Amino acid sequence: MPYVIVEPCIGIKDASCIDVCPMDCIHGNESDQMLYIDPEECIDCDACVPVCPVDAIFPADKVPEKWQRYVQINADYFKDKK
Amino acid sequence: MLYMSRKNPQPRSYRIVGPQARVDERETPHPRVQRGELGERLRLWRLQRAGNDPFRRIFGGGGAEADPKNCLQSIMAKVPEGKVNPNPLPVDDPVKMAKDIKEVARFLGATVVGITYLDQAYVYSHRARGIESMGQKAGETIDLPHRYAICMGFASDYKKFLSNNSPISDADYGLGNNHTIPTTFMLAAYIREMGYPARAHHYGRGEVNHMPLAVNAGLGELGRHGMLIHEEYGSRLHLATVTTDLPLAVDKPVDIGVEEVCKYCMKCARTCPSHSISFGGKEVHNGVERYRINVDTCYKYRPASRGEWHNCVICVSTCCYNKPNTWWHTLATKSIKWTPIPLRAFVIVPLLWLDDLIWGKRPWQHMKWLSYDNKPKPMVCTIPGCQAKHKNLIHKRLHDPVPETRAAG
């Protein structure tokens, strides 16, 4: 079950998660609102969760109801990029 | 604090606290990955992971792309077992026989060898794959009524493992796995020709869990990273077993101080790139109290190298017991072993400080071998437009200090 970045990341993009991700599977560019986790590459190691200053990262099956749509948003970000 | 009784010593690095159910081989990592339970991507990776590296292709990492006839593991997984000589040699003295059979095992290629009773708790309950030539089928129950387990360890090359997370260490890891095959085959055949039933359990073919048997046979102790730690060879031993009914004297579990060292060291947990090794205490699983690792994340990390290598072996090579066979290594390990348990921390803490100082917190060496060079290459992100500053695929990061949430867990 991959991890998912949700709404609190918007406008913050602290990027601490990028530093700790062993798979380098968190991506984004300057024009993006937030960062995204590639669900195919994520190994569920949980390393990104404790370092996120705004608690924006959850396992896909534990994303709060109000942010459920971000599971698809993360996946869609990589749809045409591979 | 538990001291080892001289009459009935129990392993200190794991403790039986309840009934143990036999493990179904189909629930071990490789079959789970083959069924796609750890994701479609990993399933495909296992099928297509060979690449063009000839070592990967001959050492059993070839998947569907490599020719199984070029792979010793694939060949030996199909070989039927020979008959037992109907005229058994009499065994008057199991102590002498144990001594002789250990000498034979070493002669045939084992680095270290010990003997224990075959505890049925460590025999798989069902087969994940059957050997056709022996009439076995996947999914059937395993009946292995042998009384003894001859446990063997095959040491990998210390220096090559220091190139960890590279094609060089990966090749040596593959070679170590393959070293288990001829020796166990020959030893089991030798015992059958003596007139006693015997079965080889080696890389790619086996009905037992080698780790607890090796601990019980006194080869070493179970470490925080879930592997055997041997006093001299550290964690770089590949394990294999021959089970038999040949009357043998058994060895006893040893106390070399791993129980105390793993409490303080944490070097494997700090360096594991996939965060699979716990910083916390032991947990109870299937009636056994021991350190648990996250097998799923460890396995899922394998494709991280983009096909250049598959087994990172960072935990093996960073383990503080993993040192060359020198007088100062012997002095360090013996001084831990011979210090009374309540006082061991006073020896271990300074030794660990020295270990970090001399060998580094993340032991690694730049190495060139054949056409391989383990110098980290700059990784290019394959996602178009991505501006993230990726840096972890070169794997030099330490999980230090321990994140608070992790330490609390």
Tell me the per-residue pLDDT of B176-207, one tens digit each, with 9 for 90 and over: 999 999 999 999 999 999 999 999 999 989 99
> ipTM of the predicted structure?
0.89
Amino acid letter for position A3 = Y
Share of chain B above pLDDT 70, in %: 92
Cα of A22 to nearest chain B Cα, Å: 5
* pLDDT tens-place string over residues B344-353: 999 999 999 9
CB contacts of A44 in chain B (<8 Å) are 296-297, 300
Total domain count, chain B:
1
Instruction: Show the tokens assigned to A27.
Output: 């991506």
Instruction: Show the tokens assigned to B266.
Output: 């944490």
The one-character DSSP state at B202 is B
Helix pair B94-107, B167-194: axis angle to 10 deg: 140
Residues 6+ positions from A76 with CB-CB distance below 8 Å:
none
CB contacts of A82 in chain B (<8 Å) are 382-383
| Mean pLDDT value of segment B211-218 | 98
- Check B275 against A22: CB less than 8 A apart: yes
CB contacts of B383 in chain A (<8 Å) are 27, 38, 78, 81-82
pLDDT band, residue B408 (cuts 50/70/90): very low
Q: Is B61 left (phi over 0), alpha (psi -120 to 50) or beta?
A: alpha
- Most A CBs within 10 A among B386, B398, B399, B405, hence the mutation to make, goes to B386
Check if the beta carbon of residue B343 is closer than 8 Å to that of residue B350: no
Whether B124 is covered by a domain: the verdict is: yes
Residues belonging to chain B with any Cβ–Cβ distance to chain A shorter than 8 Å: 39, 41, 273-276, 294, 296-297, 300-301, 304, 379, 381-393, 395, 397, 399, 403-406
Alpha-carbon gap, residue B7 to B17, rounded angstroms: 20
A10 at interface of B, judged by CB pairs closer than 8 A? no
For position B406, what pLDDT does the model report?
A: 40
Burial class of residue A75 in the structure, from the number of CB atoms within 10 Å of its CB (0-12 exposed, 13-18 middle, 19+ buried): middle
Whether B379 is covered by a domain: the verdict is: no
| Mean pLDDT value of segment B355-376 | 91
Cα of A41 to nearest chain B Cα, Å: 8
Whether B164 is covered by a domain: the verdict is: yes
Whether B378 is covered by a domain: the verdict is: no
Nearest Cα residue in chain A from B299 = A43
* pLDDT tens-place string over residues B284-336: 999 999 999 999 999 999 888 777 788 899 999 999 999 998 999 999 999 99
- Check B275 against A18: CB less than 8 A apart: no
DSSP assignment of B346-391, as one string? HHHHHHHHHHHHHH-SS-----EETTEE-SPPPPPP-STT------
- Closest in A22, A50, A82 to B304, CB measured: A22
pLDDT at residue B405 tops 50: no
Cα of A56 to nearest chain B Cα, Å: 15
For position B170, what pLDDT does the model report?
A: 92
Whether B329 is covered by a domain: the verdict is: yes
pLDDT band, residue B6 (cuts 50/70/90): low
pLDDT at residue B61 tops 80: no
For position B1, what pLDDT does the model report?
A: 38
Cα angle vertex A56, ends A54, A60, to 5°? 160
DSSP H helices, B217-326, are 258-264, 267-271, 295-300, 314-318
3-state DSSP call for residue B178?
Answer: helix
pLDDT at residue B223 tops 90: yes
| Mean pLDDT value of segment B84-113 | 98
Q: Which CB contacts under 8 angstroms, 24+ apart, belong to B84-87? A: B84/B192, B84/B195, B84/B196, B84/B197, B84/B198, B85/B192, B85/B193, B85/B194, B85/B195, B86/B195, B87/B195
Whether B57 is covered by a domain: the verdict is: yes
- Check A81 against B383: CB less than 8 A apart: yes
For position B303, what pLDDT does the model report?
A: 83
* pLDDT tens-place string over residues B32-55: 999 999 988 888 888 876 667 889
Instruction: Show the tokens assigned to B157.
Output: 């090359």
Q: Is B257 left (phi over 0), alpha (psi -120 to 50) or beta?
A: left
For position B382, what pLDDT does the model report?
A: 84
Domain that holds residue B174: 7-373+384-409
| Mean pLDDT value of segment A8-37 | 92
Whether B236 is covered by a domain: the verdict is: yes
How many inter-chain contacts (A to B, CB under 8 Å) are there? 78
Nearest Cα residue in chain B from A38 = B383
- List the 15-54 stretch of A: residues with Cβ below 8 A of B: 15, 18-24, 26-30, 35, 38, 40, 43-47, 49-51
For position B206, what pLDDT does the model report?
A: 95
In chain A, the N- to C-terminal Cα span, in Å, equals: 20
Whether B16 is covered by a domain: the verdict is: yes
- Which is more confident, B233 or B391? B233
Q: Is the peptide bond before B401 cis (omega within 30 degrees of 0)?
A: yes
Consecutive H or E run containing A16: helix A16-20
pTM over 0.90: yes
* pLDDT tens-place string over residues B244-296: 999 999 999 999 999 999 999 999 999 998 999 999 999 999 999 999 999 99
pLDDT band, residue B404 (cuts 50/70/90): very low
pLDDT band, residue B409 (cuts 50/70/90): very low
- Check A24 against B301: CB less than 8 A apart: no
